[in-house]
């Protein structure tokens, strides 16, 4: 995986854990805002993640404002839209939505560490993550309706499935900002840590565990699980069966049986070449 290209560079990428974990430490624009250049970078990253070489991702930021306040993602880059037509805006937001949808489906364990401000697009971006940790500095919110729009990159269509309809309504219709404790309580994040370092080490530990597992099985589990949302019981079971059989056909079920004792002992077996799963 080549992370030296210009498109990757804006996300400040680093490969660790023998190239199996990709760390993206945001440090761009005035406040890590999400604009066209950043979306192009995410398109490149997502395409690379779907190749199956990377097993896990940590998306985070250690950036501070001029006043010393931490920033995760302050929102979308609204200033670049000066002079845009209504059609330009609608096309751009559809692009945002498609990029995040593809990123959500990437066959990796995708983690987010929110340290500081995560408003608008920052909150919506976290919906792409499989697991989310917030430090006590984190702030979340959806200010869009005060600007005459709505959260259009997952805040309307996806957020309620993570935190429930009532809390999604509260955030979207009032613009109320919440801290890490409230985000943990309603399920927007899964853990809260005192410091950035504690959160990072916790996610690194989880990524190390994911890296030991079959990449084909991870793809089947993640995509199968996501595909079952909103389905009836019969459809959910069909998707699960198809995902399970994908692991068998990929060859890794046989590898797991042959190396059972080594796996239980904490070793990583010689998994078969990556085969991505499609629930379609």
Reported as a single tens digit per residue, the pLDDT across 56-113 is 999 999 999 999 999 999 999 988 999 999 999 999 999 999 999 999 999 999 999 9
pLDDT of 246 above 90: yes
In the predicted model, is pLDDT for residue 266 greater than 70? Answer: yes
The helix (H) or strand (E) run that includes residue 239 is helix 233-250
Two structure tokens written together for 241: 């069966």
d(CA 280, CA 277) in angstroms, rounded, equals 9
pTM (2 d.p.): 0.95
Tokens for 161?
Answer: 């499935």
Q: Write out pLDDT tens, residues 197-223.
A: 999 999 999 999 999 999 999 999 999
Sketch the domain layout of the chain as residue ranges.
6-210, 214-264
Q: What is the average pLDDT score of the chain?
A: 95
Q: What is the pLDDT of residue 2?
A: 64
11: helix, strand or coil: coil
Percent with pLDDT over 70 in the chain: 97
pLDDT at 229 over 90: yes
How far apart CA 254 and CA 251 sit, in angstroms, is 6
Q: Is the pLDDT of residue 3 over 90?
A: no
As a residue count, the chain comes to 280
**Region at 75 (left for phi over 0; alpha for psi -120 to 50; beta for the rest):** left
Instruction: Work out the pLDDT band at 9, boundaries 50, 70, 90.
Output: confident
Decide if pLDDT at 1 tops 80: no
24 — pLDDT class (breaks 50, 70, 90): very high
Indicate the CATH number for domain 6-210.
Answer: 3.90.226.10
pLDDT tens for 133-164 read: 999 999 999 999 999 999 999 999 999 999 99
Give the span between the Cα atoms of 120 and 239, in whole angstroms. 33
């Amino acid at each position: 995986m080549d992370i030296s290209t210009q498109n990757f560079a804006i996300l400040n990428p680093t490969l660790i854990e023998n190239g199996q974990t990709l760390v993206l430490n945001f440090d761009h624009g005035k406040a890590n805002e999400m604009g066209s250049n950043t979306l192009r970078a995410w398109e490149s990253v997502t395409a690379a993640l779907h190749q199956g070489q990377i097993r896990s991702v940590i998306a985070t930021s250690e950036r501070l404002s001029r006043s010393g306040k931490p920033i995760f993602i302050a929102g979308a880059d609204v200033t670049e839209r000066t002079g845009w037509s209504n059609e330009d805006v609608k096309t751009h937001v559809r692009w945002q939505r498609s990029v995040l949808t593809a990123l959500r489906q990437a066959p990796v364990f995708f983690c987010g560490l929110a340290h500081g401000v995560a408003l608008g697009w920052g909150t919506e971006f976290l919906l792409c993550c499989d697991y989310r940790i917030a430090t006590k500095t984190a702030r979340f919110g959806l200010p869009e309706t005060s600007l005459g729009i709505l959260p259009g990159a997952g805040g309307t269509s996806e957020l309620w499935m993570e935190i429930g309809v009532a809390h999604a309504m509260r955030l979207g219709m009032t613009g109320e900002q919440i801290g890490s404790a409230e985000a943990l309580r309603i399920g927007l994040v899964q853990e809260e840590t005192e410091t950035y370092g504690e959160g990072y080490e916790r996610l690194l530990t989880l990524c190390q565990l994911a890296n030991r597992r079959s990449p084909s099985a991870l793809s089947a589990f993640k995509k199968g699980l996501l595909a079952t949302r909103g389905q009836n019981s019969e459809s959910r079971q069909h998707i699960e069966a198809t995902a399970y059989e994908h692991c068998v056909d990929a060859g890794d079920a046989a590898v797991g049986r042959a190396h059972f004792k080594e796996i239980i002992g904490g070793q990583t077996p010689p998994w078969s070449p990556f085969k991505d799963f499609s629930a379609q």
